[in-house]
Every structure is written in structure tokens, then in C-alpha cells.
Amino acid sequence: MKDLRFGRLKCYSLHLGILPLTVLVLVFFCFVCLSLRSQEWGHPGAVNRKTVISLLWFFLGSQDHEQTGKAYPQPRVLTPTRTDVLVLTPWLAPIIWEGTFDIDTLNEQFRLRNTTIGLTVFAVKKYVVFLKLFLETAEQHFMVGHKVIYYVFTDRPADVPQVPLGAGRRLVVLTVRNYTRWQDVSMHRMEVISHFSEQRFRHEVDYLVCADVDMKFRDHVGVEILSALFGTLHPGFYRSRRESFTYERRPQSQAYIPWDQGDFYYMGAFFGGSVVEVHHLTKACHQAMVEDQANGIEAVWHDESHLNKYLLYHKPTKVLSPEYMWDQQLLGWPSIMKKLRYVAVPKNHQAIRN
């Protein structure tokens, strides 16, 4: 025998949902009628007809507005947003420049997915001095409105500054060992990120952004950068031919790239993607560096050389323009850069030593 209880419950809930709306509509129409009649009588407190009609359309359209989100300009197929720069790679990955995305639309999409972003940064030895500015500017500009976990790797956990964090954002301090040479500190980032991606990050975040600490966020850096795998164009080589790239050119190294190959030169200071893809990248780079070390060779630009080799044969799904990695002190501010988003901090080496 068919049980009708659930059908009845559904009807009751439907009526309960419609009843308040019906009452509100009746009250609103009474208000409309009284306001229009008052206007005819010349009452000084009367609401004008245009205001009433506007309120009526707002009320009736509010439900649909919640479903469709904010209005935005229609993209025009025959009107490119930027014609002065390359906005698409040959493998159909977007290159992210100011003017190529609508951040409100993207924010809405990533909020619907309840996305959490991890930001890894290494503040080892005296480089912990840069951490306060890094975190303060990240709070102002990095993934604003989204859930963020800052993963600070340091050998000096007691020196990590207390920076006020916004809602849905937290800081995790993870202790790592230091090394005598900065090159070793840099190269071991790949090993550490690979390990934590497998053991921890995959349980806590959806995307990882891996950044250098001696930088600051100067302008918006948001979900427009997120993709399965992204790299950032090096500010010194985005205009150059591949023959000028400082790839590792010695065939003995695992980072070797021939002279007639290469798409772009990527900066090792800002890369990321999904946790799974970042794990693949960092594990591959670490294993390649271990093999190089066993063969008595070190790539010319260390982990950055191995990053470029990996991204050559595992194409990134997004490429960030030099807006996301810039040094204004060295390079000025060319007109092609509409915004400078993540920039180098001028270094006072004496202050760092002290």
C-alpha cells in the first residue's frame, strides 16, 4: 500500500513556505494603494509613483536576483579584453593579466565550492624578518573573502610574529631545519612541500600557493590564479626569446632543457595549483635534485631550474603574468603592467644580518 505521509508533509511545507510570501505581497499592495491614494489627495508624506513602482519591481524580482547573482557586462566574442598582450598559450591555458577576468564572478564560483587555499612560505634563519610584512599584506590582498591557511615553515617558531587574521583565516607554524647555504634551503622546499602535501595539506586545503617570504602583496591576488597547476612568468624574461632563458643547459643535469625548446621562463618564487598537482611537481623536482646530487652536479638556478623543466613537459593550466611577480626597484613600472600585485621588498642586508 502506498504511504502518502511524505506527500502530505511536502504539501504542508509548501503551503507554509507560500503563506508568509502571500501575506507580504498583500501588505505590500495595500501599501501601494494607500500611497497612491495619498498622492492623489496631496498628502505631504505621500510616496511618489515612481518610487512605489521601483520598490514593487525590486520586491518581485528579489527571489530571481538571489538565484542569478550580480549583473555584469556580457563578454563580447569579437571584442577582446586585451590586445596588447598574449592572453592564451598554444596549449589553451589562459595567461592572467588585469582586464582578462571578472573577479566578482570568479569569487562567486569559488565560494559555491567552499574553497580553502593554503599559502606556504619559508622563513628560515634571518629571513624570518620579512614574515611580518608578508603576512600583513597577505591579509590585505591575498584571497580576500575566502578561507586561507598560512603554512609558515621556519627554524625559529618563537620569532613568528602575531599578525591579526580575518575570519576564516588561520596560521600554522611548522618547524623545519636550516642549512648553511641558501641554495640548500631553497632546494629543500620541494622536499618539504611534497611531504606535507601527501601527509597533511590534502586533508586541509583544496589549492596550494607556494611563495617566497622576501616579498609583499601590493594589490589584489585572488582566486583568478587558481587552477590545477600554475606558474608565473619571470619579470626579467617575459619579453625574451627562449635562447636567452637561463635554463640549465648541461645535459648531465636532470634539469637540462635543449636550446631549441622552452615556452616561457617561470619564476620559482610563486607557483601552485591543486594539492595533488603540487605534490606531483614538488616530488618530481626533489627526486631530480637528489639524482643530480648523486651525480655531482647542481642546476644553475637550483630548484627554479627543475621547476622550469617540469613545467615544460607538464604544461601549466594557467600562467600568471609578471603582475604577480615584479621588482619595481629594478624594472620600474612599464605601461603594460596595469597592476603590480606581488612585489619584491627592497633588502637592507645589514639589517637582516643584525
Binding-site residue ranges: 122-124, 127, 212-214, 234, 246, 304, 327
* Three-state DSSP state, 344: strand
C-alpha to C-alpha distances, 298 to 182, 242, 275, nearest whole angstrom = 13, 21, 27
Closest CA to 212 of 296, 274, 133, 292: 133
* 234 close to 322: Cβ distance less than 8 angstroms: yes
Ramachandran quadrant class, 16 (left: phi over 0; alpha: psi -120 to 50; beta: rest):
alpha
Closest CA to 302 of 214, 182, 187: 187
- Cα–chain center distance at 104: 13
CA-based diameter of the chain, in Å? 96
Of 98, 248, 304, 323, the catalytic one is 304
CA pair distance 182, 188, nearest whole angstrom: 10
Going by the annotation, the residues of the binding site for UDP-N-acetyl-alpha-D-galactosamine are 122-124, 127, 212-214
304 is catalytic: yes
In which residue are the cell numbers 641554495 written? 183
In which residue are the cell numbers 596550494 written? 208
Classify strands 342-344 and 215-217 as parallel, antiparallel or unpaired.
antiparallel
**Catalytic residue positions, numbered:** 304
